[in-house]
Amino acid sequence: MNKKMLLAAVAACFCSLSAQADEGRSVYFALTGGLTFGGDEIATIEYTNGTSTELRAGNLVNIGAGLLWAPADMPMSVQATLNYHVDDASADNGHASFSRVPVEVMGYYNGVSKWRFGAGLRFVNSVSAEFKRDGLATETIEFSNALGYVFEAGYRFAKQGWVNGRVGIEEYEPETLKVGSLRYDLSNENKVKANYGGVNIVWGF
């Protein structure tokens, strides 16, 4: 066997072993990102050019990372991610945002070819609305932590790549308004509904 044939045989053996190892995997690192829309209006931001935008409790960008357990021999999978969910509006003289840090745990049924259907819980932490304007004290509304519910239907476009439609059900209870060093109790205010619909992509590798 000459040198080229030996190298080809080693390469083929290595590729075969790699393929077998990948086929036997059940745990993947998962990245997720997507858009959501909905929820109560938090504030309306008006610009000097006459336009405006709304901060909403169910908007806008959700990104996260975590683990996906997807055994090849079972029609089910489980996904757990730490996320950052935010809606914001910026201008030359200020910035407004509504943000939260949800931990999601989702269970899926994968028994339909190229599809998965799931439901899970969102443990929503660090919920706050922040308003910064030049020359004025920063105003921050803090909300209590919340438990939400998520429902998804996903289509597989790669081995562990999914595009999902999702619906979330959440609400947040105002706790405190902070203006500079001053604090005001908001515990008697109405809860803010943050129900939303959206789409996201999950990639496991």
Give pLDDT tens digits for 39-88.
Answer: 999 999 888 888 999 999 999 999 999 999 999 999 999 999 999 999 99
Reading the block at residue 177, the tokens are 């308004």
Angle (CA) 170-175-181 rounded to 5° is 135
Domain 26-204, what fold?
Porin (2.40.160)
5 pLDDT higher than 90 = no
Q: Residue 79's Cα: distance from chain center in Å?
A: 12
**pLDDT at residue number 24:** 73
**Residue 19: what are its φ and ψ, rounded to 5°?**
-65, -40
**pLDDT at residue number 205:** 93
Assess contact for 49 and 82: CB atoms under 8 A: no
Each domain of the chain, given as residue ranges in start order, spans 26-204
Reading the block at residue 18, the tokens are 């790699």
pTM of the full structure: 0.87
Q: Residue 186's Cα: distance from chain center in Å?
A: 27
Mean of the per-residue pLDDT values for the chain?
90
- Give the residue with greater pLDDT, 97 vs 3: 97
Classify each residue of 191-201 as buried b or exposed e, where b means 16 or more C-beta atoms within 10 Å of its C-beta. Answer: ebebbbebebe
Cα separation, 95 vs 99, in Å, equals 13
Percent pLDDT > 70 in the chain is 89
Assess contact for 124 and 147: CB atoms under 8 A: yes
**Residue 72: what are its φ and ψ, rounded to 5°?**
-70, -25
**pLDDT at residue number 22:** 54
